[in-house]
């Protein structure tokens, strides 16, 4: 039994609507229904009377609702106590970071901070941007490190979540080099012929950034998706095998470009500028993260806008 099933059940008990509760719980209605069914299978009896609308609880459901409320409240209280204890431990630094920045950038940035001086143990969660932001908002991490673009602003209140710019980057179209050193696949506005495109998943932040380049191209680029992944390393690997063109961060493929394993596959007008920023919850900056944030701030001032 998963704890989120109890929260799902309490939601539908309150709203009387599977569709409304699915929206509230940020899942599809079919997924929400499967989770309620799984809870009923775990309990062993029907909890929801599905024969009426608004949805009502069975007699067993009403009894279970009281137990679910008590159990959920106990779990939330315990979680809060554990989080407060973790925050009080100055040795723990929890960071959420986008997958695309976790392998290279993070280590280089951490090397500039006085982690050893403060005897900090760093815990890193690499995930998609949506879940990284959620972890920061829910207090699961202390810092969020991510790419940003002015056309795709994060829904974080600046007064509550101050940030620093750590670096600049560029999303650039690249391809494996042919024998003559030119790209095996090239994207150029107005050119004829469909180009195989190594694309990000629809919900990936860098995919939305790459879409900005495609949307801004005049005339339109003729690209055909042949591979899709949310992981930037997967796109880099397929580009190195010559499967198509991928928009990849310059910091990730710098060595590949220098060694000519990959080459630019389009004009500079198709590049998309990015910034790497770090966010923190303001209340932490006057406590155990104060010294670390001040050091990060001084380093950030050396990065020209």
pLDDT beyond 90 at 184: yes
For residue 286, give the 3-state DSSP assignment: helix
Residues in the chain: 305
pLDDT top residue among 144 and 2: 144
Q: Final residue of a domain: which of 85, 116, 134?
A: 85
- Neighbouring CB atoms inside 10 A of 127's CB total 17
Phi, psi (deg, nearest 5) at residue 264: -60, 135
My answer on whether 279 and 269 are in the same domain is: no
My answer on whether 49 and 125 are in the same domain is: no
What 8-state DSSP symbol labels residue 183?
B
For residue 102, give the 3-state DSSP assignment: helix
pLDDT top residue among 245 and 116: 245
Q: What percent of the chain lies above the pLDDT cut of 70?
A: 94
- Neighbouring CB atoms inside 10 A of 246's CB total 30
My answer on whether 175 and 255 are in the same domain is: yes
Domain presence at residue 121: yes
My answer on whether 159 and 224 are in the same domain is: no
199, 210 in Cβ contact below 8 A?
Answer: yes
Q: Domain containing 242 — which CATH number?
A: 3.40.190.10
296, 113 in Cβ contact below 8 A?
Answer: yes
My answer on whether 184 and 259 are in the same domain is: yes
pLDDT at 98: 93
pLDDT beyond 60 at 90: no
Domain presence at residue 305: no
Domain presence at residue 118: yes
For residue 213, give the 3-state DSSP assignment: helix
Domain presence at residue 251: yes
Dihedral sign (CA 149, 154, 157, 160): negative
My answer on whether 20 and 66 are in the same domain is: yes
How much is the average pLDDT of 93-102?
91
- Answer left, alpha or beta for residue 251, where phi above 0 means left and psi between -120 and 50 means alpha: alpha
Closest CA to 73 of 10, 131, 136, 2: 10
Domain that residue 128 falls in: 87-167+275-300
pLDDT at 305: 58
CB half-sphere exposure, 153, CA atoms < 13 A: 6
How much is the average pLDDT of 113-134?
85
Q: Domain containing 80 — which CATH number?
A: 1.10.10.10
Phi, psi (deg, nearest 5) at residue 205: -60, -45
My answer on whether 119 and 212 are in the same domain is: no
My answer on whether 268 and 295 are in the same domain is: no
Overall domain count for the chain: 3
In angstroms, the CA 270 to CA 171 distance is 9
Domain presence at residue 291: yes
145, 166 in Cβ contact below 8 A?
Answer: yes
pLDDT in tens, 153-165: 888 898 999 999 9
295, 114 in Cβ contact below 8 A?
Answer: yes
How much is the average pLDDT of 189-196?
77
Q: Final residue of a domain: which of 61, 85, 109?
A: 85
Phi, psi (deg, nearest 5) at residue 206: -65, -25
pLDDT at 284: 83
Which residue intervals of 44-190 are DSSP H helices? 59-88, 99-102, 105-110, 129-137
pLDDT beyond 70 at 84: no
Domain presence at residue 61: yes
My answer on whether 144 and 188 are in the same domain is: no
What 8-state DSSP symbol labels residue 120?
P
My answer on whether 174 and 245 are in the same domain is: yes
> Which residue pairs from 235-241 have beta carbons closer than 8 angstroms and sit at least 24 positions apart in sequence?
235/198, 235/199, 235/200, 238/198, 239/174, 239/175, 239/176, 239/198, 240/176, 241/176
Domain presence at residue 192: yes
**Could you give the C-alpha distances from 165 to 100, 291, 298, in angstroms and in order?**
17, 17, 11
My answer on whether 162 and 94 are in the same domain is: yes
My answer on whether 219 and 295 are in the same domain is: no
pLDDT in tens, 128-175: 898 899 899 988 899 999 999 998 888 889 899 999 999 999 999 999
Q: Final residue of a domain: which of 66, 85, 104?
A: 85
């Amino acid at each position: 039994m998963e704890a989120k099933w109890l929260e799902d059940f309490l939601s539908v008990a309150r709203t009387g609507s599977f569709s409304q509760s699915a929206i509230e719980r940020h899942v599809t209605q079919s997924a929400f229904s499967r989770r309620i069914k799984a809870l009923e299978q775990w309990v062993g009896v029907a909890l929801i009377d599905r024969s009426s609308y608004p949805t009502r609880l069975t007699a067993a459901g009403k009894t279970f609702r009281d137990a679910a409320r008590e159990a959920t409240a106990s779990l939330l209280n315990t979680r809060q106590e554990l989080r407060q204890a973790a925050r009080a431990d100055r040795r723990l630094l929890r960071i959420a970071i986008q997958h695309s920045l976790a392998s290279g950038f993070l280590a280089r940035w951490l090397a500039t901070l006085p982690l050893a001086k403060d005897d900090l143990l760093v815990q890193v969660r690499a995930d998609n941007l949506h879940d990284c932001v959620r972890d920061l908002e829910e207090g699961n991490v202390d810092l969020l490190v991510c790419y940003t673009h002015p056309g795709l602003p994060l829904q974080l209140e600046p007064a509550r979540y101050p940030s620093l710019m750590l670096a600049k980057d560029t999303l650039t179209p690249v391809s494996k080099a042919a024998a003559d050193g030119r790209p095996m696949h090239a994207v150029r506005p107005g050119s004829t012929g469909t180009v195989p495109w190594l694309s990000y998943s629809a919900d990936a932040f860098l995919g939305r950034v790459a879409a900005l380049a495609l949307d801004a191209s005049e005339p339109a680029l003729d690209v055909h998706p042949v591979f899709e992944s949310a992981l930037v390393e997967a796109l880099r690997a397929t580009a190195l095998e010559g499967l198509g063109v991928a928009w990849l961060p310059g910091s990730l493929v710098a060595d590949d470009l220098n060694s000519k394993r990959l080459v630019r596959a389009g004009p500079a007008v198709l590049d998309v500028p990015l910034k790497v920023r770090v966010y923190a919850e303001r209340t932490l900056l006057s406590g155990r993260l104060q010294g670390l944030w001040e050091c990060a701030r001084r380093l950030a001032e050396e990065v020209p806008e």
